[in-house]
Amino acid sequence: MREPRRAEPPAAGPDRGLHVAIVMDGNGRWAQRRGLPRVAGHVAGARAARRVIDAASDLGVGVLTLFAFSSDNWRRPRGEVARILALLRRFLRTEARACVRAGTRLEVIGRRDRLPATLRTQVERAEAATATGAGLRLRIAVDYSGRDAILAAAARLPAEGAATREGFARCLAPGLAVPDVDLFLRPGGERRLSDFLLWESAYAELVFVDRLWPDVTRDDLAAALADFRARDRRFGGLPAPAARA
Ligand code: FPP
């Protein structure tokens, strides 16, 4: 049985408030290596998502965005798409309860108009049930494309007035503001962005790990955060001592 989550907010720590984005890659290969159908990899991937959400909450991550289904994933066989979407619906149902207990606010980003009505309903329920969560902000990207998100934001820009970076960011996230991605983590051995959070990741630190997503543990997230903390983030400026000189 799953362990109950902590209800209290995470302790203050060096990673508090960071935005971590994860491409959950490698489910299919994980299953194939075991002689299992691909969907078994997605089921194991959902278990990994639970582990990593708990870890993010414990480690004081502020925002966690998980790429669950890309707008290009519609190209997969209809059966696999249906199984992933059904899995997501079940995940949202159980996750919403866990999020309420943990004080996690759950949001789903991406297009909703192409999702099955039952999944849309579940998304709305999960978001409503967790709307007052003051701990981890968990965002799950479903039918999401970074380029499409930028196009949609561009269409809203005229109403915003002047074309500034801040104004554009508001168009990109018309509801609750979203901080830029600090750590972009991709397990599964591939080294690409795959159309995920393109604007928001302008200065993200990229961490790639070879382990397939279903095998990812809280230690992997902790190690990625340690790697992140060792980076010198200059945002186009100079290292701190040189900047002071
Ligand atoms: C990429 O692995 C994974 C997906 C396209 C689906 C991700 C879905 C889950 C992790 C399960 C549901 C998610 C949540 C949040 C419950 P792949 O199939 O491309 O793997 P491969 O590169 O090995 O083929």
Closest atom of ligand 1 to CA, residue 48: 10
Is-contact 207 181, C-beta < 8 A?
A: no
Q: pLDDT by residue (tens digit) across 85-113?
A: 999 999 999 999 999 999 999 999 999 99
CATH-assigned architecture of domain 25-146+177-230: 3-Layer(aba) Sandwich (3.40)
Distance 240 CA to ligand 1 centre (A): 40
CA-proximal residue: ligand 1, atom 18 (nearest): 28
- How would you class 120 by CB atoms within 10 Å of its CB: exposed for 0-12, middle for 13-18, buried for 19 or more? middle
Residue 233 has pLDDT above 80, yes or no: yes
pLDDT digits (tens, 9 = 90+) for 113-172: 999 999 999 999 999 999 999 999 999 999 999 999 999 999 999 888 889 999 999 999
CA distance 156 to 80: 34
Nearest CA to ligand 1 atom 8: 68
| Per-residue confidence (pLDDT) for residue 14, from 0 to 100 | 55
| pTM of the full structure | 0.92
- Residue 7, pLDDT above cutoff 70: no
Cα gap 67→65, rounded to integer Å:
7
Catalytic residues: 25, 73
Ligand 1 pocket by C-beta < 6 Å: which residues? 24-29, 42, 45-46, 49, 66, 68-69, 73, 84, 87-88, 91, 140, 188
Rounded to the nearest angstrom, the distance between the alpha carbon of 236 and the centre of ligand 1 is 34
Q: Does the structure show a pLDDT above 90 at 10?
A: no
Rounded Cα distance, 13 and 47, in Å: 26
The tens digit of pLDDT for each residue in 24-75 reads: 999 999 999 999 999 999 999 999 999 999 999 999 999 999 999 999 999 9
Instruction: Give the chain as a 3 state SS string.
Output: CCCCCCCCCCCCCCCCCCEEEEECCCHHHHHHHCCCCHHHHHHHHHHHHHHHHHHHHHHCCCEEEEEEEEHHHHHCCHHHHHHHHHHHHHHHHHHHHHHHHHCCEEEEECCCCCCCHHHHHHHHHHHHHHCCCCCCEEEEEEEECHHHHHHHHHHHHHHHCCCCHHHHHHHHCCCCCCCCCCEEEECCCCCCCCCCCCCCCCCCEEEECCCCHHHCCHHHHHHHHHHHHCCCCCCCCCCHHHHHC
Atom of ligand 1 nearest to the CA of 30: 23
Q: Ligand 1 pocket check: which of 22, 25, 38, 67 to mutate, most ligand atoms within 8 Å of Cβ?
A: 25
Domain segments of the chain: what residues?
25-146+177-230, 147-176
Q: What is the Å distance from ligand 1's center to 39 Cα?
A: 9
Atom of ligand 1 minimally distant from the CA of 49: 15
Distance 38 CA to ligand 1 centre (A): 9
pLDDT of residue 112: 97
21: pLDDT confidence band, cut at 50, 70 and 90?
very high
Q: Give φ, ψ of 138 to 5 degrees.
A: -105, 120
Q: What is the pLDDT of residues 215-227, one digit of tens each?
A: 999 999 999 999 9
How far is it, in rounded angstroms, from Cα 216 to Cα 149? 28
Phi, psi of 110 (to 5 degrees): 115, 180
In whole angstroms, give the CA distance from residue 105 to residue 107. 7
